[in-house]
Chains A and B, each alone.
Chain A
């Protein structure tokens, strides 16, 4: 770590960005850092497509009548929004971008365990995404991202099989990423880095990878069967041939519920890093945060039936899934309390990453608590399939995961790009996003409880005021997302050069140059201290 009086270090030397030039050197790379950048571009593109679809949805919902799009078009738009966002942004998101970049650095390794498989997983992601996009462009799909049968297998006129293939291929990308992280974390930690010295970011990636490994294959086979049923008229989920639509739901949600924990565990992992770095003290309750990640991963597989309380499973199944769904909330609560206590008697610095982290803690707490409404049998009957549900999951996914993603992106941007982003605009956009987000989604809780169902193209007039508020919020939120896009790109050329450790944070990744060389560490580092070792004989840190 450099002395605060020294001029910012410049690194004209070789780093992973300038080690070789040309498209081939990127498309054939096996460097986890370059692959992370390629994923960053990919997820940003798919986020933009999904975001455009969201804008169109909110546009239509400004008025009660379905007067902007035809009904079938609207149905295709919300399906596109769901599929793009879930499979091509949220699931890969933090693991593929931040995880890929940081996990080897954080554990002192030169790369992931299987670098070429890492590259393969990027190609699978892109190919899967392009196939799904092809379907969108050639007429789209109108089943909703949930593909419920027999609508998807027998009645829909959209590109079911093509989209299913795209998602199937992307699923393999997810599996391979998870596999890579698990093996890397198990076998490639630097000497001295026992499990309890590992950064919590890696614990979060590890837990999410467990879910990716165990859950994704089930949705893969399910979607394969849906495609086979549609192509060959098989009838596995078609009641006219003796099939059971509820069996589809069980198989689908067996993955898709744990999937949301694939989305949130990495986000929580980022928040753990941000809270401790910007309090400049060890995180409170390290073991509990690590343990709760594993607990969430395990429990997440036991609650899928809470998506099906009204679809006809037995009363007793409902009871079991309800109580387990309440239990899975507890480890998340533990995390929130531990993060909050970390701030206590810390040295809190208000840089943009911390703003995102605090926003996450507030929004995730609130959104997570609204999940309890849904675990509650008596209440879920009324709010299931209404905008209450939509509001709940957007609070977690957008108010939670996306805020954490942006916070992490800002925190590690100096390391990734060697440049600083403009602090003023980053704070502005953090606030714009926070305000826009709440205005978009809070009214949806209210309109949902009032009875407005989801996936409605047109709605009764009495719901209009709340919908207008939501659309207004969405416009603000959209602007909020555009600002970082602009300044991150701007910073790559015009941003201030970053020092090795602009935040004065602990962690092996901060002991490399910004940006790091291709092989990360000239020699494998030896780890002697605890994680987040802020308080033992530190030198002064460079000021951010």
Chain B
């Protein structure tokens, strides 16, 4: 009988260690109370119908002790849990990007070279992988128990999270947020491969059109290029080199141009107006699909020299706070 899924990611063992600690505390206190209750009930059982109990006074000291000790223990749990959480939510900067579209009831995964997978994902060990996820319809959740990885995919925003696989094998992918009729059918597999096997797999298939080039087409289709051109006096800011750079807003704040910023600027352009430009960009809310938004984001990313932007793997809808430097410190 297994009690733990396999540990196949860099954070699995940390999560399990925390789990074991909590099991120990739970077992200790459950047994303590259970034994005390049984012992007292037996030792002090009523021996005659008219028996009266002995008076036991209140004890302020006892109350304090059994308040302070649980408090201390819970704070240990909190800090330990928070530290594991920070590890989970901060992707390293050299992560490769995978774009995920969730829709009832399937997972569509795309590598940056355009290779598409349906309900399956091949990744190499030892390489951080950042998932940028969007939903076409309702809330889903990308869950890989062996990685101890889970992140809700909420429509209307990008959800970004990361993992690094450590053990070759085949691991369950589940949708973990109820999403309708075939929720329990929205499952798949993550294939973790050695670097050599992964290269072989890459070489074997045909990459499709990359997300970036699909995005380039949409950029023109939606006439984005008519304002965001390179000519002097263009109505909108240039997007070359934008991604990953600090942007100064009209209200004086400076923010980082990451996936969240790009997506928000397409669907709600008035939220963050760039300094020096009139607020005339129309909103594309509801006019471009989630997949389209992913493609446009990939395209805009491709216009910047540095491929990966450091980004906290929190949800992209709570937009970036003012940052004094390049590091994203999203709240």
The residues of A with any CB-CB pair to B shorter than 8 Å are: 4, 66, 71-72, 75, 142, 144, 148, 150-151, 154-156, 239-246, 279-282, 284-288, 310-316, 318-319, 322-323, 326-327, 329-330, 333-334, 336-338, 340-341, 343-350, 354, 358, 361-362, 365-366, 369-370, 372-373, 375-382, 384-386, 446, 449-451, 453-460, 462, 465, 534-535, 538, 540-541, 543
Contacts and interface: CB of A to CB of B under 8 A. Distances in A.
A348 B41 contact: yes
A156 B87 CA distance: 37
B74 A330 contact: yes
Contacts of B30: 362, 365-366, 369
Given A330-B67, A330-B70, A348-B46, 13 more contacts: A142-B181, A245-B154, A279-B53, A282-B55, A322-B82, A350-B45, A362-B34, A373-B19, A381-B85, A382-B150, A451-B143, A453-B143, A540-B49
A452 to B, nearest CB: 8
B58 A285 contact: yes
Interface in B158-200: 159, 172, 174-185, 187
Nearest to B41: A348
Nearest to A451: B145
B28 to A, nearest CB: 9
A361 B31 CA distance: 11
Contacts of B295: none
A87 B143 CA distance: 30
A119 to B, nearest CB: 38
A62 to B, nearest CB: 15
Contact of B26 (A151, A338, A372, A455): A372
B286 A240 contact: yes
Given A71-B184, A155-B137, A378-B15, A341 B53 contact: no
B138 A150 contact: yes
B225 interface: no
Given A148-B178, A458-B185, A341 B62 contact: yes
Closest 3 CB pairs of A and B: A239-B156, A378-B84, A451-B145
B51 A280 contact: yes
A369 B177 CA distance: 25
Given A148-B178, A280-B46, A378-B15, A341 B152 contact: no
A449 B19 contact: yes
A4 B85 CA distance: 63
B54 interface: yes
Interface string B79-114: 011111111110000000000000010000000000
Given A381-B150, A385-B141, A343 B40 contact: yes
B40 A382 contact: no
B70 A376 contact: no
Chain B, interface size category, equals: 35 or more
A459 B41 CA distance: 43
B88 A381 contact: yes
Interface stretch (B1-9, B116-124, B202-210, B246-254): B1-9
A397 B5 CA distance: 28
A246 B56 CA distance: 51
Chain B interface main SS type: mixed
A538 B157 CA distance: 68
B10 interface: no
A335 B315 CA distance: 39
Contacts of B45: 347-350
Given A312-B317, A381-B88, A449 B33 contact: no
Given A329-B74, A340-B33, A315 B185 contact: no
Nearest to B48: A347
A439 B150 CA distance: 28
B155 interface: yes
Contacts of B55: 281-282, 535
B177 A148 contact: yes
B143 A372 contact: no
Nearest to A4: B49
A294 to B, nearest CB: 15
A453 B183 CA distance: 10
11 contacts: A75-B180, A75-B183, A312-B157, A314-B331, A315-B331, A334-B67, A347-B46, A369-B29, A377-B81, A459-B184, A541-B50
A355 to B, nearest CB: 10
A239 B182 CA distance: 22
B313 to A, nearest CB: 9
B148 A239 contact: no
B74 A378 contact: no
Contact of A246 (B33, B154, B175): B154
B201 interface: no
B71 interface: yes
B139 A66 contact: no
Nearest to A539: B50
Contacts of B75: 323, 326
Given A246-B154, A457-B184, A322 B78 contact: yes
Contacts of B84: 377-379
B220 to A, nearest CB: 24
B12 to A, nearest CB: 9
B41 to A, nearest CB: 5
B63 interface: yes
B280 interface: no
Given A310-B150, A312-B154, A312-B314, A75 B181 contact: yes
Contacts of B148: 381-382
B85 A455 contact: no
B234 interface: no
Interface in B203-256: none
A196 to B, nearest CB: 12
B267 to A, nearest CB: 8
A47 B222 CA distance: 56
Contact of B4 (A345, A348, A450): A450
Contacts of A327: 71, 74
Nearest to B105: A71
Nearest to A384: B150
Nearest to B84: A378
B304 interface: no
Contacts of B267: 242
B13 to A, nearest CB: 12
A348 B149 CA distance: 49
A375 B70 CA distance: 14
Contacts of B34: 362, 365
